[in-house]
Amino acid sequence: MTDREVTACLIVIGNEILSGRTKDANLPFLAVGLNALGVRLREARVIPDIEETIVATVNECRARFDYVITTGGIGPTHDDITADAVAKAFGVEIGINREAYDRLLKHYGDPAIFTPARQRMARIPATAILIDNPVSVAPGFQIGNVFVLAGVPMIVEAMFHSFKHRLAGGAPVLSRTVRVSLPEGTIAEPLGALQGRYADLEIGSYPSFRQGRISTGLVLRGTDMQRLETAARELVAVLGELGGDPELLES
């Protein structure tokens, strides 16, 4: 563990996500999983299956963040170009990885079933190390600080658990939630003042309707639970003075 903030970026690759035909389900899982390791997911980008876009995005993000995770585009079809694009981003060759090939051949059993299309899933950039795939065998890979995963949520989850021990994080982000039956416009000024007093914390405001009444959820995030508790109780006191009947929820 390190004292500094450790950051990550998720790059979701796929025309099907951008078209709306497929809904991304990996972001919530990865955000929670990374946070538990002390890694802050600071950005998530959705990009198309276009090589130059993937190359540019991977290069930009790997320079800005401690870790980059990509999902999608490493299957057996013509539009699965992520591995080639990542190899190009790192300026390395790509070819059949013997270990990946042997794993897939064993999985399919019959060489006749292990078609050239399926063999494409054994193409891995030079210098990359494999990420195990306990679900469908076809591996992901890590090269530098970039982790390349499949797009199917079940496989993403299995792959994440296969490589998460390679991540060195900082302190996990903790949270406290206060709910109040007041609109944001009423609490905006005191909330802003509280944020000024606790600049080391993140304070988010999320309005909603509960049982036909306006309600606002206020989430405080930080790495020091004592600091969070102090700020949350101060917030409850301030909101109570406004008549909002605030409630400090269990984390």
pLDDT digits (tens, 9 = 90+) for 76-85: 999 999 999 9
pLDDT of 3 strictly over 80: no
pLDDT tens-digit series, residues 92-114: 999 999 999 999 999 999 989 99
The answer to whether the pTM exceeds 0.85 is: yes
Give 251's pLDDT tier (boundaries 50, 70, 90).
low
Instruction: Compute the distance between CA of residue 188 and CA of residue 10 in angstroms, rounded to an integer.
Output: 31
173: its two tokens: 């982000």
In contact, 153 and 72? CB cutoff 8 Å: no
Are 66 and 6 within 8 A, CB to CB? yes
Tens digit of pLDDT for each residue in 164-221? 999 999 988 899 999 999 999 999 999 999 999 999 999 999 998 877 788 899 999 9
Task: Give whole-number Cα distances, 133 to 155, 169, 201, in Å.
Answer: 7, 23, 37
Task: Calculate mean pLDDT across residues 64-89.
Answer: 97
